[in-house]
Structure 1
């Protein structure tokens, strides 16, 4: 792997998203009294923040092992952890969680030399996480409201899940058709191997179900410790509404309008929780403390890479796409 050169395009994206986060935070601080937000910080004991950070790191060790379940046993556990935390570290300087996924995939490719498998696993892993978040959010709404609204959301989520599964099963057939329709399109060999990788994963439903269950456990842990921060900050919100709102805010944070969700996550979370009587300034304070947890975990990932002598390096896109 080679060090990623300074890219004006990446810098421009970073600046645009940083400006988006700055604007969102400015609006939040204008709408909500700063003293109330600061009180949320002050009300949270330092040991609670430290415990949340420790559990967050442990949860991501579990997330790394979940990713390795899809990659297979030829991915060493030590490399798995380094790659996963390299992705967390990359989120400190790259725009969006997808940047971290790219770094993680590049390190996996350097070990496995199988670009199609790495790409297929990255896509499936991300989709499974999103479906798990939607299911948890629907469950939270059902338990928070306890009436037909929650049931309707559950049914809609199941429909989405069915469509995702159908699309996943259809991918091995659909991908090769692209080159039949457009024979001059490059990377046909990669596309065919990518279809084969999806086919191999689709042939292992027990593995996919296990990964989904593992993802659900990891997400429940993350939701719970984020709620712990909110309770400590004085948000005054019960767990079930939080279970409904937090996954949606996390999904919204992926939108390319802010720097790793900074500002957008807090605004979305406060908006979803207001109907449940949550104290908005404390919710924002908890969200900002969560951002601090993310940055601290990313810094830890960078230290792990430095201590193992690897540094934060990036594989070239060509190394993944051309591995045939």
Structure 2
């Protein structure tokens, strides 16, 4: 497995992404009426926010169990849930979803001692989520089908979906290619184990189907929660348009140019929904409230990890290895 980046390097990347979020938010508040954004934020009742947060946490418990299935049930399910919430906590201070994935993978590796299976499971988990999001975006376009432009977007989304599927199927075959060309390259043993782990997943289509259907259900719940916040903020947008735009904004927000998608997700969502008549100020306000949900969930994830003794177990395992 690759070495962890130095603290200085990680801090530098965090600062760059934080600066990216600051610039994006600055542009948004320069282009949009700040008073309208603030009014939309204040329009969201606290009870709505708390309900969305509770359901968000429940959805991520389901996401943790989906990841646990893809890991071959190689650790107790409650440990998988705790590791997943630790990943949510990491997203408070690490750049994007990749930071959270690294933290939960570290906890999984400490429990399973099988780096190849952890990497294969995490990769499959992310690919399945991406395919589910693209599928939901296609569903949104079908639900809101009323123009020729919608039909073209469906075709484009379907092409992207097919390309992701093809890449997922081809990945196990492509991984060993560098070592076939140059057998002396280091890391061959790990890649062989990784390919074997992918192959084991491929021989278990039932697990893959369950994971995909679970991802569809979880992502639809998250889409619905985000739409509920937007409606509470005063957005007048049909569900089909939101189901189309929100998954695409979530995919784009993974790009490593902002802090956990802050600023990028809101800008993308407002741009995607503007042609459908949505008020950008309200959409940005709803997006910022969604970010508040993400950060609140991350804080609760850190609390869960601390109260469950996760930090002590990590130190104990490190001591055993020393």
C-alpha displacement of 1:202: 1.1
Distance 1:161 1:209, change over 3 A: farther
Task: Say if 1:90 and 1:312, in contact at 8 Å, map to a contact too.
Answer: no
Q: Is 1:302–1:312's contact at 8 Å kept on the other side of the alignment? A: no
1:135 aligns with 2:135: yes
Q: Distance in 2 between matches of 1:162 and 1:21?
A: 32
Describe how 1:132-171 pairs up with structure 2 within 5 A: 132-171=132-171
| Mapping 1:62-101, distance limit 5 Å | 62-101=62-101
Cross-structure match for 2:204: 204
Relative to 1, partners in 2 of residues 1:260 and 1:243: Cα closer, same or farther, differing over 3 Å?
Answer: same
Partner of 2:291: helix, strand, or coil? helix
**Compared with structure 1, are the counterparts of its residues 41 and 157 closer, same or farther at alpha carbon in structure 2 (3 Å cutoff)?**
closer
Counterpart secondary structure, 1:261: coil
Q: Give the aligned CA root-mean-square deviation in angstroms.
A: 1.9
State the alpha-carbon separation in 1 of the partners of residues 312 and 13 from structure 2: 20
TM-score (norm 2): 0.92
Match of 1:219 in 2: 219
* In 2, Cα distance between equivalents of 1:167 and 1:101: 21
Q: CA deviation at 1:208?
A: 1.1
Aligned to 2:108: 108
Deviation at 1:72, TM superposition (A): 1.8
Contact 1:305 1:312 survives alignment (8 Å): no
1:293 and 2:301 are equivalent in the alignment: no
Q: Given the two structures, how large is their TM-score scaled by the length of structure 1? A: 0.91
> How many residue pairs get matched?
312
1:248-303 deviations in whole A, cap 9, x for unaligned? 11111111111111111111111111111111111111100000000000000000
Q: Any stretches of 5+ residues in structure 2 without a counterpart?
A: 316-322
Residue correspondence of structure 1 range 254-293 to structure 2 within 5 A? 254-293=254-293
State the Cα distance separating 1:5 from its structure 2 match: 9.1
Distance in 2 (CA, whole Å) between partners of 1:264 and 1:134 is 18
Mapped to 2, the partners of 1:157 and 1:202 lie a distance apart of 25
1:245 maps to 245
Are 1:168 and 1:202, in contact at CA under 8 Å, matched by a contact in 2? no
CA distance 1:275–1:172, change in 2 (3 Å): closer
Q: Kindly tell me: are residues 272 and 157 of structure 1, through their superposed partners in 2, closer, same or farther at Cα, counting changes over 3 Å? A: closer
**Does the 8 Å CA contact 1:106/1:314 hold for their aligned counterparts?**
no
CA contact (8 A) 2:145 2:151 kept: no
Contact 2:305 2:311 in 1 (8 A): yes
CA distance in 2, matches of 1:15, 1:313: 30
Q: Is 2:43 the counterpart of 1:43?
A: yes
CA contact (8 A) 1:43 1:232 kept: yes
What is the deviation of 1:93? 0.7
